[in-house]
């Protein structure tokens, strides 16, 4: 009998009242390994109520106490992240090294949040008027909702919840039903770190759970990462209900390779950024824009490297794992069919890959297209798989126009040895995150993560100081005290409490 991954409320599993479940599958074998609970409205409200009940006490918990728990969570995560990586690989399919990398990038936000007392400091003006002082403080919002995608079941939630919790909010996390177990592992770790009941909760489910988070008046903000159509829905529904919303949407990330670039470096980068995690990254490079007469050589170098990639079970010595579900594998394969039919050159075809894994695994190998044009679906759509398209242009200006006219604006990169060209590109390109000779420009935790255009709905990016402002609100206080007060004698050295 398979196990059921349940919800989490008040620091313990919460089975809920719904009997609805969805299968959890190992993508490398195609086998169902468990079930995940799907919340009904009553279940969703019970989990949200736990967060709401815990908020007043957590809001009033001292910064010293909050950060001490956060530090403990960081230490436990660092000691045991190998366990979490195995869970991610078993349910998502990415190779273990990639899963560990995901956790490490999420841990950077935990470490950033450990310094939140300094970042929450307000301002003070003495004697703004006669004997009148004015100061401002930042206070937590209340219970907040996080709706995270399947491709990063640990890192994406960690973009949000460390800062939210450190700032004094309580959390309801709604993970993807495709790989839900990581969320429960994180909840158990928070409990071990000493987080009080109800501060971190997990709501499993589908659209029913999402809609309750978007409309329930107890939830004060929503942080979402996923496809652009769903991001639009989340933003419209959440803001209509009076919530703050940061909804990070889809991407079609281009990399420009200029004629003066180191083509070996560029080819390595295209392979790593295009096929890492089977292309299931919102920061994956899916379009390589070859400028001038370098295209033939660049394509040859990418092909040479991509042919060496071993596709297989993520627990084995593989470079790239399976896609997350059979349906998604079939969808990506249909794009390969469409690209071929549209006249693009299939340089490397992953549809018949000989994978080192189960016969029923969801396999699709690295696929490379050349001579792709902007009217083809393999160019216009976010495929979210190991499919890299090469577009040939004559000039930098044409390459820039290609990127700036694209509806997405998540990440981009330029490969060049010309500092002037790089500086011009970073100034002119209409994209939220830019890499210069860096293929996946994911910023450090103390900078913001987020795109432009149809890659972001809302005006606030994830983590960094923008994350702190998102999870707090300002309060300005004007005070006048006419008589001094006396607290008596206390010769002890002041202590944090």
What mean pLDDT, rounded, does the chain reach?
Answer: 96
Q: Are residues 178 and 308 in the same domain?
A: no
Q: Are residues 141 and 22 in the same domain?
A: yes
pLDDT tens by residue, 307-362: 999 999 999 999 999 999 999 999 999 999 999 999 999 999 999 999 999 999 99
Q: How many CB atoms lie within 10 A of CB 492?
A: 5
Q: Are residues 348 and 471 in the same domain?
A: no
Q: Are residues 62 and 200 in the same domain?
A: yes
Whether the CA torsion 47, 282, 229, 176 is positive or negative: it is negative
Q: Are residues 400 and 353 in the same domain?
A: yes
Q: Would residue 493 count as lying in a domain? A: no
What is the CATH number for 184?
Answer: 3.40.605.10
Q: What is the pLDDT of residue 487?
A: 65
Q: What is the pLDDT of residue 486?
A: 64
Q: Which residues are CB-contacts of 404 (< 8 A; sequence separation ≥ 6)?
A: 428, 429, 430
What is the CATH number for 411?
Answer: 3.40.309.10
Respond yes or no: is residue 282 known to be catalytic. Answer: yes
pLDDT tens by residue, 427-453: 999 999 999 999 999 999 999 999 999
Query: Nearest-CA neighbor of 282 among 432, 84, 60?
Result: 432
Q: Would residue 167 count as lying in a domain? A: yes
- Residue tagged active-site, from 247, 282, 288, 323: 282
Q: Would residue 189 count as lying in a domain? A: yes
Residue pair 84/154 in contact by the 8 Å Cβ criterion = yes
Q: Are residues 305 and 405 in the same domain?
A: yes
Q: Are residues 107 and 204 in the same domain?
A: yes
Is the entire prediction scored with pTM above 0.85? yes
Residue pair 331/323 in contact by the 8 Å Cβ criterion = no
Q: Would residue 272 count as lying in a domain? A: yes
Q: Are residues 229 and 318 in the same domain?
A: no
3-state secondary structure of 284: coil
Any idea what DSSP says for residue 492? S
Q: Are residues 74 and 144 in the same domain?
A: yes
Q: Would residue 487 count as lying in a domain? A: no
Q: Would residue 388 count as lying in a domain? A: yes
Domain range holding 137? 4-249+455-477
pLDDT tens by residue, 65-106: 999 999 999 999 999 999 999 999 999 999 999 999 999 999
pLDDT tens by residue, 252-262: 999 999 999 99
Task: Flag whether pLDDT at 1 surpasses 60.
Answer: no
Q: Would residue 488 count as lying in a domain? A: no
**Strand (E) or helix (H) holding 332:** helix 326-342
Q: Are residues 383 and 407 in the same domain?
A: yes
Q: How far apart are CA 247 and CA 261, in angstroms?
A: 35
pLDDT tens by residue, 11-59: 999 999 999 999 999 999 999 999 999 999 999 999 999 999 999 999 9
Q: Would residue 441 count as lying in a domain? A: no
Q: Mapped to the 3 state alphabet, what secondary structure does 361-407 carry?
A: CCCCCCEEEECCCCCCHHHHCCCCCCEEEEEEECCHHHHHHHHHCCC
Indicate the number of domains in the chain.
2
Q: Which residues are CB-contacts of 84 (< 8 A; sequence separation ≥ 6)?
A: 77, 99, 103, 154, 182, 185, 186
Q: What is the pLDDT of residue 493?
A: 78
pLDDT tens by residue, 120-141: 999 999 999 999 999 999 999 9
Q: Are residues 214 and 151 in the same domain?
A: yes
pLDDT tens by residue, 399-417: 999 999 999 999 999 999 9
Residue pair 203/43 in contact by the 8 Å Cβ criterion = yes
Q: Are residues 74 and 107 in the same domain?
A: yes
Q: How far apart are CA 122 and CA 241, in angstroms?
A: 29
Place 495 in a pLDDT band, splitting at 50, 70 and 90. confident
């Amino acid at each position: 009998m398979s196990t059921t991954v349940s919800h989490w409320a008040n620091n313990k599993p919460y089975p809920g009242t719904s009997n609805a479940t969805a299968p959890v599958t190992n993508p490398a074998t195609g086998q169902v390994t468990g079930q995940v609970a799907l919340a009904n409205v009553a279940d969703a409200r019970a989990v949200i109520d736990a967060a709401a009940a815990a908020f007043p006490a957590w809001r009033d918990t001292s910064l010293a106490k909050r950060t001490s728990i956060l530090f403990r969570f960081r230490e436990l995560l660092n000691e045991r992240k190998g366990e979490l990586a195995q869970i991610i690989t078993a349910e998502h399919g990415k190779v273990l090294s990639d899963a560990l990398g995901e956790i490490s990038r999420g841990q950077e936000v935990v470490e950033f949040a450990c310094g939140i007392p300094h970042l929450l400091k307000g301002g003070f003006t003495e004697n703004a008027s006669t004997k009148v002082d004015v100061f401002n403080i930042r206070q937590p919002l209340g219970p907040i909702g996080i709706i995270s995608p399947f491709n990063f079941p640990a890192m994406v939630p960690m973009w949000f919840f460390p800062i939210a919790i450190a700032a004094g909010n309580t959390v309801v996390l709604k993970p993807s039903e495709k790989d839900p177990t990581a969320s429960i592992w994180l909840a158990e770790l928070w409990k071990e770190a000493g987080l009080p009941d109800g501060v971190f909760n997990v709501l499993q489910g589908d659209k029913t759970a999402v809609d309750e988070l978007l409309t329930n008046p107890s939830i004060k903000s929503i942080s979402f990462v996923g496809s652009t159509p769903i991001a639009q829905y989340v933003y419209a529904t959440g803001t209509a209900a009076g919530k703050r919303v940061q909804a990070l949407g889809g991407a079609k990330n281009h990399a420009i390779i200029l004629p003066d670039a180191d083509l070996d470096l560029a080819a390595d980068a295209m392979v790593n950024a295009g096929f890492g995690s089977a292309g299931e990254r919102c920061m994956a490079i899916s379009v390589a824009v070859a400028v001038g007469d370098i295209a033939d050589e660049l394509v040859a170098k990418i092909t040479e490297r991509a042919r060496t990639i071993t596709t297989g079970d993520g627990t084995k010595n593989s470079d790239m794992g399976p896609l997350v579900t059979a349906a998604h594998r079939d969808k990506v394969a249909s794009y390969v069919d469409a690209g071929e039919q549209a006249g693009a050159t299939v340089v490397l075809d992953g549809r018949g890959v000989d994978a080192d894994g189960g016969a029923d695994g969801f396999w699709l190998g690295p696929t490379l297209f050349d001579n792709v044009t902007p009217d083809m679906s393999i160019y216009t759509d976010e495929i979210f798989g190991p499919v890299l398209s090469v577009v040939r242009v004559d000039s930098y200006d044409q390459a820039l126009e290609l990127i700036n006219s694209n509806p997405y604006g998540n990440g981009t990169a330029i490969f060049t040895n010309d500092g002037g060209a790089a500086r011009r590109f970073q100034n002119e390109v209409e994209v939220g995150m830019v890499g210069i000779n860096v293929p996946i420009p994911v910023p450090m935790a103390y900078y913001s993560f987020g795109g432009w255009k149809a890659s972001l709905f809302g005006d606030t990016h994830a983590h960094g100081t923008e994350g702190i402002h998102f999870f707090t609100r300002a309060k300005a206080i004007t005070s006048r005290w006419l008589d001094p007060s006396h607290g008596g004698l206390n010769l002890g050295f002041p202590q944090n409490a």
